[in-house]
Amino acid sequence: MSHRYCGRDFHADEIELIRHLIAEDPARTRAELSRLTCRMLAWYKADGGLKEMSARVAMLRMQADGLIGLPPPRRKPPDPRVRIGPRSDPGPPLDQPARALMPLAVRRVRQKSDSRLWNEYIQRYHYLGHKPLPGAQLRYIVYSAEQPIALLGFGAAAWQSAPRDRYIGWTHEQRQRNLPLIVNNARFLILPWIQSKNLASMILAKVARTLPDQWLEVYGYRPVLLETFVEKPRFQGTCYKAANWIYLGQTQGRGKLGPAGKQSVPIKDLWVYPLDRRFRDPLTR
């Protein structure tokens, strides 16, 4: 019998190994255990680094399911709340055609102050609010004349999506091996006081040109496909269509943790954007 956590199947002998790592040295921290688990199970990222954050999440879920007992945390967990301050207050209304806002500066979030600002804007103005993005990720703030106008966040792809998986034509093993080559556009927000026709599709096109090289710089490999899920009927996906993304169909609304065969989350449209015209080759190796 196996248990799936963070996109990986853990067999009974592997869970027993994790129990042994915990028991043989009670002084080990959770961080040390996650690194040891990655090494013992050869759980590595595409750039060769340990998947220790995934291991940490997996072990917390194992503990919640009663499979293991972790040592108590050594540090107080960080406050997950996003504090709203005046930096994210609404700006002056801007109603101009997109070309009047050129040139656009797409800046990757690197500094803590930018990260806090990104979190504030998303929490305050995005309908989903702020949640940490899963896995490898890049976040962007888009500026026009030093004024923030939009925000984007990219993270780990959905583990399974029938329309996407049919479109790619890969096997379960190929998906398990190559899923990191797909990146999910998990957040996209044009700030509500910015009203500019065609701006959203222009930003999507610009980021699609920027992201692959930056992902390579940060994570050591180049993604080949972007995906996003657009909630219906709240949004129509017009900007993705205008930016030449490809509509693949709808999700079934079951969610990762929902009951089998029943809708538990909103149905969403799935769109993808190939970053390489031969994207299927690396995905189906």
Round to whole Å and give the CA distance between 10 and 14.
6
Q: What is the pLDDT of residue 258?
A: 45
Decide if 283 contacts 174 (C-beta within 8 A).
Answer: yes
All structural domains of the chain, each given as residue ranges with its CATH number in brackets, are: 2-64 (no CATH), 86-283 (3.40.630.30)
Q: What is the pLDDT of residue 255?
A: 56
The count of C-alpha atoms lying within 13 angstroms of the C-alpha of 224, restricted to the half-sphere facing its C-beta, is: 14
Distance of CA 119 to the CA centre of its chain: 14
Q: Could you list the pLDDT tens digit for every one of the 285 residues in the chain?
A: 889 988 789 999 999 999 999 999 999 999 999 999 999 999 988 778 899 888 998 999 999 999 999 999 887 766 678 999 999 999 989 999 999 999 999 999 999 999 999 999 999 999 999 998 888 999 999 999 999 999 999 999 999 999 999 999 999 999 999 999 999 999 999 999 999 999 999 999 999 999 999 999 999 999 999 999 999 889 999 999 999 999 999 987 765 544 455 555 788 999 999 999 999 999 999
Distance of CA 253 to the CA centre of its chain: 19
Reported pTM: 0.80
Q: What is the pLDDT of residue 211?
A: 98
How far from 213 is each of 30, 45, 107, 129, 223, CA to CA, in Å? 33, 18, 13, 28, 9
Tell which residue, 29, 279, 251, 28, has the closest CA to residue 160. 251
